Amino acid sequence: MTDGQLNTEVSGSVLHITLDRPERRNSLTHTMIDELVAVLTAAATDDRLRAVCITGGGADFCSGADWVATNADGARPRPPNLVRRIPHTANRVVELITTLHLPVVCRVRGWAAGLGCNIALAADFTIADEDATFWEPFIDRGFTPDSGSTWLLPRLVGVARARRMLLLGEKVGGSQAAGWGMIHDAVPAAVLDDAIDELLGRLAAGPTVAFGLAKQSLQQAQTSTLNQSLNAELTQLELACRTSDFKEGLAAFRERRNPDFQGR
């Protein structure tokens, strides 16, 4: 068993993050989770970037946090330790993905379980192999759900389906997940990379600031009244109107051409 690692590469304006521990289905050690928090935090202030892609090495996306590796000394995980640590590790990963002012895409093959499943749910767009498996195994392991699963799932698929996954531990295939609206799309394995590349190219060529502001509005609207959302939209519109991409969008519309956004 290895500790695993995160591999990162910037291609053009896209940050590619690979969870690299294929012999353990990319289950995440404490070190890997800490590295993921650090990488996503740094991405938030990297002006080169216009999109982020998270994938898994080998045949799987991520089978969650590795409780075997993180408790290798045989000691039971103590509740006070979990309560202190999780807000700054697993929970922080989910928070960063949902609040990052960059579009986040997940490429899912094989297993996406536990924290791995919730990372895929938190992303702005997840495209999966039709034969991928999404699983929330918390109850089956005697745990209660964590890392945002009780917030993410009901909003994506409704309470009844969330109960099936969180309380009965039902596994959901890639095609079914797309049909439920849990993820953006599911495609055959042979065209998964092409679908990811097409989406990333589209996002990286978009108005990055406007995307981030719209993402923020969507997030805030989950717990806002209509009036609060309308007022928040006005504030975001004021900010978007000050960007170079806004001016380019108007010019392209007047000139009947495709806009050339620079993410500024």
Q: Which CATH architecture has domain 208-254?
A: Orthogonal Bundle (1.10)
What's this model's pTM, rounded to 2 decimal places? 0.91
> Is the model's pLDDT at 230 over the cut of 60?
yes
Which residues of the chain form CATH 1.10.12?
Answer: 208-254
pLDDT at residue number 86: 74
Q: How confident is the model at residue 127 (pLDDT cuts 50, 70, 90)?
A: very high
Asked whether 146 and 90 are in contact (CB, 8 A), the reply is yes
Question: Per-residue confidence at 106, pLDDT binned at 50, 70, 90?
Answer: very high
1 pLDDT exceeds 50? no
* Delimiting residues of CATH 3.90.226.10 domain(s) in the chain: 5-204
Which amino acid does the sequence have at 128? A
List pLDDT tens digits, range 30-75: 999 999 999 999 999 999 999 999 999 999 999 998 865 555 555 5
Rounded to an integer, what is the distance from CA 260 to the centroid of its chain?
27
Nearest to 108 by CA among 32, 189, 15: 189
What homologous superfamily does CATH list for 5-204? 2-enoyl-CoA Hydratase; Chain A, domain 1 (3.90.226.10)
pLDDT value for 74: 54
pLDDT band for 143, please (50, 70, 90 cuts).
Answer: confident
Q: 52 with 15: CB under 8 angstroms?
A: yes
**133 closest CA partner among 173, 106, 98:** 173
